[in-house]
Structure 1
Amino acid sequence: MGLLALVAVLAASVLAACATIPRSGPVTKGGSVSSHDDPFGPIDYHPLGPDAGETQEQILNGFIQAAVSPETSYQIAREFLSDSFRSQWNPDASVTVDRAALRSDPARVNSTQLKVAITPSAFIDQIGDYRAAGSQAPVTLNYSFVKQHGQWRISQAPNGIVIDSDQFQNVFSPHPLYFYSPDFHNLVPDLRWFPSSRSTIATRIGKALLAGPSPWLQDAVVTAFPKGTQLASGSVVVGGGVAQVALNAVAAGADTATVNRMAEQLTESLGATASSVELTIGGVTQNVSGATDALRDPAISSTPLLLKGGKFGFLSSKSIVPLSGIGDQLAALRPTAATVLGDGSAAAALAHGDVYAVSDGLAAPVRIDDRAGLVAPSIDSRGIVWSGVSDANAAFAVSAGDGATAALKASWPDARQLIAFAVSRDGTRLAALIGTTDGQSHLMVAGIVRDATGHPTRIGEPVDLGGLGLSSGLGLAWTDELSVAVLGVSPQGGTAIVTQQVGGPLSDPTAGPADGVAIAAGNPSTDVWVLGSGGDLETPAGNGWQTATTGVELLATQQGRGE
């Protein structure tokens, strides 16, 4: 046998062994497998069904392990259930992610009941929203049993499934659903997690997209699909890289722009499963003329924007290329923090303890906030300045720089301090680094609700994405359409950077520069810069950090332009 053939046989043997999940023996941790490791798609687990004569404990363990396989509507897991309960159990109601090694053994409640204690690390709800567990307290799950045809079967169990965190990454996959900013200038992602079953994933994505955005984004984004639009056939069929999407007649009569937007939402959302979409509405094939002008993940410069040597501009080698337009105004202000629109037309700046709006349409910077305790301001894609103070219960001052300022309050849960905040590059979401009452630093997000003119009118109900594992937070920066990098003090000393995906898990921390005080990001998302307290600008270099330039007074944040 040739070497390549032998390798292929061994690889097939290993995969076959991994595909069947044992229900006895010690728990061991295997290596994680990503979609890049598997060129043929997601891993399919093929657990064993129940054996004759198994005890209640064996049936329960087998059921929990079999529920990692979503194939054929969790058919194997349902074999552990009684005939009367089999159709009642809803595995899609929720997902509890835990560590199998921390689960308790089944404990006896009475002759027909067992309980298991688990320690959740995250939850997925019925629409696919991911949330980190807010507590490390164990959760008890109760199961009832009945004898059926002489064999024990589960007659009552919690809806949803329990899955080990290592298996979760293989069985479930993240899929951003795309909606629009209210002005249709931007595509906005809403990350969901679905079982990676080849036969059902496109249908799950299609149904979730038609059902609309997550509750926290509900009023911040819009969809092109009219209310009541559903899949006419109940499924999305993918073949040859083409997704065939048949919708009911609710959207019949939609104009060309709306049809193009519906097709674009489907194409972007189904991007992991299909390269194009064929759309029919009420049985009529739609003539889709192509993508709209909407931006996805607005680009910003890959070069850091600095104040150095009295000049405000982009770093080029060791010198500064002055920012045209408002660069001179910003340099004259000598700000300690600033966020600048990508086209250089406007900025929000913190200088001399006050927040200013700077614009090429203004003769001079306009002071919009002089409250005590101001933190670094932000500016959104429409050039509207956002200003906040460290008191997390205080309102944000929001101004277009025309002298009129609105007060918008966010109800950050368990908030003690607003450390830093930033508007997303598409202008639809507000990320905030919050010091909570338990002494932790949490990242939270909220949707931004706007009126017909694009002015913010309300901050939606915030979502707490969880603790960051930092002794204290220092600053944050959006790195792309879904991710926020947070700089903070590491419990081990020095600084650390953690990246939180909005709607996904927290990354492992990476060591930052020892004296980092501010963070900014560019394009691509791997372009991250940290400013040290002594004025050194640091950039990642291998496993460490390299000084790009010295004598920096300010590292500015760059914002996308949504128009």
Structure 2
Amino acid sequence: MYIPRLTVLVAACALSLAGCSTLATDTKPQFLRSYEPTASEEPEVGPQPGQEPDLLLREFFSASAIPTGDYAAARAFLAPSIRQTWAPDGNTLVVNAVDITTVFDSSNSNRRVFTVRGSVIGTLEEGGSYLPENGAYEAEITMEKIQGEWRVTDLPQNVVIERTELRNQYQPQNLYFYESTGSSLIADRRWIFSGENSLNTELVTMIMEGPSARIKPAVADIVPRDAIFAGMEGGVYRFTGMADMDESQRRRFAAQLVWTLSNAGVPGPYSATADGTNLVPDVELLTTDDFVEFNPRTSADSVPALYAVIDANVHSVMGNEATPVAGPLGASGEVQSAEVSANGVIAAVRVSGNGKSQLVIGELGGPLIESIEGRTLSRPSLEHDRDAAWIVVDGTTVVRLVPSSDKNRIVEREVNTSALEGIPGEISVLRLSPAGARVAMIIDGRIFTGVVTRVSPGETRIVNVHELATELGGTALTLDWQPDGSLIVGTSTPEAPVWRLEQDGSSLSMLPAGNITAPVVSIAANRSTIYATDARTMLQFSPSETDAVFWREVPGLQGLRAAPIVAD
């Protein structure tokens, strides 16, 4: 029997990054507990009579993006002899495009062999998580004429879909889990088949199954191991196995449930019970208004203050005026970079007396505490709702800095970055996500993201590191998180200076180039506006204005080459 050749070369895995190995994938809903939702409607997809083999093979790959009925749509293109025995190994590879060429075979006019090639850009993991990859796919597929119609008779035991089919057949949705300290909800992005008729119950089932492997190290799972989603009855979400959860724990789970459903567009209010009683005691109908303190998109629903570094001083930008902040950071002319939090904490890198760079932390306009020095220091990144700052020293060492309880000194602790071993180059940019569960870095012009795990109060690690946006070819100069969890990236490429990158790496889109001039060396964003420093000045752009193609100068900063700071 002919054995198909299959080659998947993933360059990112050669870096030996933590979590880089491809995990088994099954895009069918995974219901490991007692609840079974209504089956999805079977799409009417299948081979056309008299179809040429190459065209039929292309439609087979399109049908492979439909997971319902154990890939019933794709099986319709297979010969009866293998239709039931084809057992995809679980890996759903996403390729940029499928290229099909014929392997010459003149011995049998009723048999054709095709070589299928494509550039691997990602993998759909179990539960719908997208894992970016960078490699090559190659396989041979045999087709034969059976009763006058071409059918596939030999193929690899895996599922391959094109990028366009991922977009056509699946929709990204966010599940929400608590980050490790339990203070806020963070998004766990999943791709769910669009033909799923019970989106709400699918989302709840996924919540009960827990976070994806990629984000799990940063998450505190509050659901008891024996808890079960028992389905819906009369519009009520029913759970069991939660008898040992106290009122506070039930309320926190309810917030997780409500925000996941609400942000997926499932209309509320919601009714839920646990072991026969209201999930939240004395509350029959749950709405997002009941859990505003856990809103995972709080920063997206408010407009943070804007600051800028101008002529090595920090300024507050308000209305049409830029005003130096009080204290030495607004007047010394020594500031190289800075970060400001929503609660008024500032971390700044300034030139020290010995010519090195030094980090200082304090309150805006208040006294500053001197901290670590280095040949180079990256722009600091502050943890959300905490005074802790992260910084990269001399391009190699990541340090977490926390003020002491008496606020008189800074405690410096090195972050474990062993997951970065094998990646050549220095870290030029490091930015924490709004909730502090993820980190984005630029290393030698390439973009990497990782997950922050807190092993103990004094030990923090970056794990599950993956390279994103390899299409940019090492041209990235700056990046920052947007409130919706995506990244904005500034590059040295004149034709495409600014890009938007999804947090899971599944999509990279160019923002209008208009009048912005590379290199873009600094960037920041709030819910409505992107700020960027190009080769000439500081500009702003509003993505919500769909017909906008030009960047505008920031009022109060016209003609000034300033570095933006969004206080979030």
Report the TM-score when normalising by structure 1. Answer: 0.76
Q: Give SS of 2:291's match.
A: coil
- Do the aligned partners of residues 457 and 99 (structure 1) sit closer, same or farther apart at CA in structure 2, a change above 3 Å counting? closer
User: In 2, Cα distance between the equivalents of 1:341 and 1:303?
Assistant: 9
How far residue 81 of structure 1 moved from its aligned partner, in angstroms, is 4.2
From 432, 447, 450, the counterpart of 1:443: 447
User: In 2, Cα distance between the equivalents of 1:72 and 1:49?
Assistant: 14
Mapping of residues 135-146 of structure 1, within 5 Å = 135=135, 137=136, 139-143=137-141
User: In 1, Cα distance between the equivalents of 2:243 and 2:523?
Assistant: 46
In the other structure, the counterpart of 1:256 is: 247
Q: Does 1:98 align with 2:104?
A: no
In the other structure, the counterpart of 2:497 is: 496
Amino acid at match of 2:379: A
**How many residue pairs were aligned?**
494
How far residue 322 of structure 1 moved from its aligned partner, in angstroms, is 5.3
User: In 1, Cα distance between the equivalents of 2:364 and 2:497?
Assistant: 39
User: In 2, Cα distance between the equivalents of 1:551 and 1:51?
Assistant: 63
From 255, 260, 265, the counterpart of 1:269: 260
- Do the aligned partners of residues 322 and 287 (structure 1) sit closer, same or farther apart at CA in structure 2, a change above 3 Å counting? same
Sequence identity of aligned pairs in percent?
20
In the other structure, the counterpart of 1:319 is: 321
Amino acid at match of 2:116: A
Q: Do the aligned residues in 2 keep the contact of 1:302 with 1:522 (CA within 8 Å)?
A: no
Deviations along 1:22-44, one digit per CA (max 9) or x if unpaired, are: xxxxxxxxxxxxxxxxxxxxx99
Q: Give SS of 1:232's match.
A: strand
Mapping of residues 109-508 of structure 1, within 5 Å = 114-119=113-118, 120-135=120-135, 137=136, 139-143=137-141, 157-233=155-231, 244-247=236-239, 249-271=240-262, 272-276=264-268, 277-282=270-275, 284-287=277-280, 289=283, 290-291=290-291, 293-299=293-299, 301-308=303-310, 312-321=314-323, 323=325, 327-333=326-332, 334-352=334-352, 353-360=356-363, 364-381=367-384, 382-389=386-393, 391=395, 394-401=396-403, 402-410=409-417, 411-412=419-420, 414-435=423-444, 441-450=445-454, 457-469=460-472, 472-490=475-493, 492=495, 496-503=497-504, 504-508=506-510
User: In 2, Cα distance between the equivalents of 1:374 and 1:176?
Assistant: 34
In the other structure, the counterpart of 2:46 is: 49
Q: Do the aligned residues in 2 keep the contact of 1:47 with 1:65 (CA within 8 Å)?
A: no
Amino acid at match of 2:95: D
In the other structure, the counterpart of 1:510 is: 512
User: In 2, Cα distance between the equivalents of 1:99 and 1:468?
Assistant: 11
User: In 2, Cα distance between the equivalents of 1:477 and 1:230?
Assistant: 38
Q: Give SS of 1:74's match.
A: helix
Q: Give SS of 1:387's match.
A: strand
Q: Do the aligned residues in 1 keep the contact of 2:338 with 2:346 (CA within 8 Å)?
A: no
In the other structure, the counterpart of 1:543 is: 549
Q: Does 1:523 align with 2:523?
A: no
User: In 1, Cα distance between the equivalents of 2:62 and 2:159?
Assistant: 9
User: In 1, Cα distance between the equivalents of 2:316 and 2:453?
Assistant: 33
Deviations along 1:76-108, one digit per CA (max 9) or x if unpaired, are: 323334667555656693433335563335776
- Do the aligned partners of residues 216 and 144 (structure 1) sit closer, same or farther apart at CA in structure 2, a change above 3 Å counting? same
Q: Give SS of 2:250's match.
A: helix
How far residue 165 of structure 1 moved from its aligned partner, in angstroms, is 2.6
Amino acid at match of 2:538: L
User: In 1, Cα distance between the equivalents of 2:347 and 2:304?
Assistant: 18
Q: Do the aligned residues in 1 keep the contact of 2:309 with 2:338 (CA within 8 Å)?
A: no
In the other structure, the counterpart of 1:13 is: none
Amino acid at match of 2:566: Q
User: In 1, Cα distance between the equivalents of 2:183 and 2:59?
Assistant: 50
Q: Give SS of 1:404's match.
A: strand
User: In 2, Cα distance between the equivalents of 1:109 and 1:307?
Assistant: 71
Q: Do the aligned residues in 2 keep the contact of 1:379 with 1:559 (CA within 8 Å)?
A: no
Q: Do the aligned residues in 1 keep the contact of 2:429 with 2:443 (CA within 8 Å)?
A: yes
Q: Give SS of 2:230's match.
A: coil
Q: Does 1:63 align with 2:60?
A: yes
Deviations along 1:225-276, one digit per CA (max 9) or x if unpaired, are: 122434335xx68x9xx6x5333x3333312222222222222223325223
User: In 2, Cα distance between the equivalents of 1:109 and 1:433?
Assistant: 52
Q: Give SS of 2:217's match.
A: coil
Q: Do the aligned residues in 2 keep the contact of 1:95 with 1:162 (CA within 8 Å)?
A: yes
Deviations along 1:511-550, one digit per CA (max 9) or x if unpaired, are: 26225543333421x411122455x321227312222214
Moved more, 140-149 or 215-224: 140-149
User: In 2, Cα distance between the equivalents of 1:107 and 1:60?
Assistant: 17
Unpaired runs of 5+ residues, structure 1, are: 1-42, 436-440
User: In 2, Cα distance between the equivalents of 1:292 and 1:557?
Assistant: 26
Mapping of residues 543-562 of structure 1, within 5 Å = 543-548=549-554, 549-550=557-558, 552=560, 554-560=562-568
Q: Do the aligned residues in 2 keep the contact of 1:97 with 1:164 (CA within 8 Å)?
A: yes
Q: Do the aligned residues in 2 keep the contact of 1:189 with 1:481 (CA within 8 Å)?
A: no
How far residue 194 of structure 1 moved from its aligned partner, in angstroms, is 1.8
Q: Give SS of 1:427's match.
A: coil
- Do the aligned partners of residues 230 and 197 (structure 1) sit closer, same or farther apart at CA in structure 2, a change above 3 Å counting? farther
User: In 2, Cα distance between the equivalents of 1:474 and 1:297?
Assistant: 27
Q: Do the aligned residues in 2 keep the contact of 1:304 with 1:522 (CA within 8 Å)?
A: no
Q: Do the aligned residues in 2 keep the contact of 1:133 with 1:466 (CA within 8 Å)?
A: no
User: In 1, Cα distance between the equivalents of 2:471 and 2:518?
Assistant: 19
Deviations along 1:40-92, one digit per CA (max 9) or x if unpaired, are: xxx99945434678887676455333323344443332333466755565669
User: In 1, Cα distance between the equivalents of 2:52 and 2:561?
Assistant: 69
